[in-house]
Amino acid sequence: MAHDPLHPTGKTIADVLDFARKRGCTMLDIRFMDLPGLWQHYTFPIRRLSVECFEEGFPFDGSSLRGWQKINESDMLALPDPATAFIDPFMKEPTLVLIANVVDPIERTPYPRDPRNIARRVETYLKSTGIGDTIFFGPEAEFFIFDNVRFSQGINHGYYYLDSKEGAWNTGAEEVGGNLAYKPRVKGGYFPVPPMDSLHDIRTEMLLTLGQLGMTPELHHHEVATGGQCELSIKFDTLTRAADNIMMYKYVVKNVSRAHGKTATFMPKPLFGDNGSGMHCHSSIWKDKKNTYAGDGYAGLSQTAIYAIGGILKHAHALCAITNPTTNSYHRLVPGYEAPVNLAYSGRNRSACVRIPLAGDSPAAKRFEYRIPDPSCNPYLAFAAITMASIDGIQNKIDPGKAMDKDLYDLPPEELKEIPQAPGSLEQSLRALEKDHAFLLKGDVFSQDVINEWISYKMKHEVDAMRFRPHPHEFELYFDI
């Protein structure tokens, strides 16, 4: 396949118009984000692309989107951001994509429930505090690639069935052409070469496609779990652009998988009894082109970074409602599967929820990694919330206590009980967010309306939806009572 860039080299409106003309684009696709975290889009003939459209925007109905407008105030306006332009690598017709910010069509003010607007507001707020002028995020989103996925839910049934040619459960299966074995064992998928790693070429195609879209690819590899768990790595970026990149990342992973007759999911815990998928988030705050997290303290961090960690640990329960926002998230956050359930920080130690990577002596590389988040989150909201917790820690000089350099998965019970744990359910996280969200409201980054809608939506459509339905495993436990 060709690997020509699918994005303009410049970021101005003129650059975008010239790029679309030279590449023969026939269609224009406008994308934006609903509140829970799925990309939405609508498409026009390319003649709608003009200098004026970046000011006038594109109208749409916001009442049918999850967590958005009421029907009596449904009209919204999408203003495309020229810096986000790229050509869709999967559409038959050459299609220019622009990610948009959503505004009120009357007031022309940023829509408070638009997740991308929230991400942009936190970047503005960071500058206003004087703490820094830029925060960088390097998210590491894991996912599964399956060959067959079936699920259904009704009044008299509820089931799911997943299959993968790589699944350890298929070592004895009859397969077309014969069973060729080489299937990663449970917890045995980390780094084996082909033929055990059967997804190498697919991941390479994904990584190269991300490069075409303007990201900087760094590596790809098979992940720990059997059944096709994978990870791609791309270079860090500023907060809003890092969230844009995650959305493009998910889009590419899903569509390349589909092109190969497979399907990908970013569910945190699709398989019982093996590792789930996380989205570890590396971050650092910079000011005047200097990394404020570099210093001579613990693991080479500054006091500023230590306070930021203090803010994250203090607000971890509330953060989980945003960074781990599904009921499925809490099937991953259990001991025994490398899940970061212990609310502590440590250097090089993956059993703590905040890890300081061994990144050499360069001040530019100093950062910490928050390991609790998972890829079911809305990245704009998750990165914004992590940043607000970090800022709160710095402003209030929150002490995270001593670092924990032991293997926290192997502590005796009397020591482990002294270490706070991540919430055990989405409902617990949402209740924590109800009580602890003042730090998110600073600078009008999150509004009280957004917090209320988030909690209400999640409780009604996810927590209660699960609570009201019998679980398939309950028949195993209770049918013969």
CA distance 98 to 87: 9
Active site residue 371: yes
**DSSP letters of 418-465?**
TS-B--SSHHHHHHHHHHS-HHHHGGGSS-HHHHHHHHHHHIIIIIHH
C-alpha distance from residue 166 to each of 169, 225, 269, 273 (Å): 9, 10, 17, 16
**DSSP reduced 3-state for 32:** strand
List the catalytic residue out of 222, 282, 367, 371.
371
- Classify residue 363 as exposed, middle or buried by CB count within 10 Å of its CB (0-12, 13-18, 19+): middle
List the catalytic residue out of 197, 231, 274, 392.
231
List the catalytic residue out of 223, 392, 427, 462.
223
CA distance 118 to 385: 9
Active site residue 453: no
Active site residue 280: yes
Active site residue 437: no
List the catalytic residue out of 88, 142, 166, 462.
142
Active site residue 369: yes
List the catalytic residue out of 88, 114, 369, 427.
369
C-alpha distance from residue 102 to each of 57, 96, 126 (Å): 9, 19, 21
Q: What kind and span of H or E run contains 352?
A: strand 352-356
**110 DSSP 8-state letter:** B
**DSSP reduced 3-state for 108:** coil
List the catalytic residue out of 7, 280, 355, 437.
280
* Residue closest to 329 by CA, chosen among 417, 270, 281: 270
Q: Please enumerate in sequence order all residues whose Cβ is within 8 A of that of 460, keeping only pairs 6 or more positions apart, or say none.
A: none
Q: Are 95 and 43 in contact (CB under 8 A)?
A: yes
Q: Are 286 and 135 in contact (CB under 8 A)?
A: yes
List the catalytic residue out of 23, 221, 260, 350.
350
Active site residue 223: yes
* Residue closest to 136 by CA, chosen among 301, 336, 356, 283: 283
For residue 143, the cross-strand partners are 230
- Can you read off the two tokens belonging to residue 86? 């790229």
Active site residue 88: no
Active site residue 218: no
Active site residue 140: yes
Residues annotated as catalytic are: 61, 140, 142, 223, 231, 280, 350, 369, 371
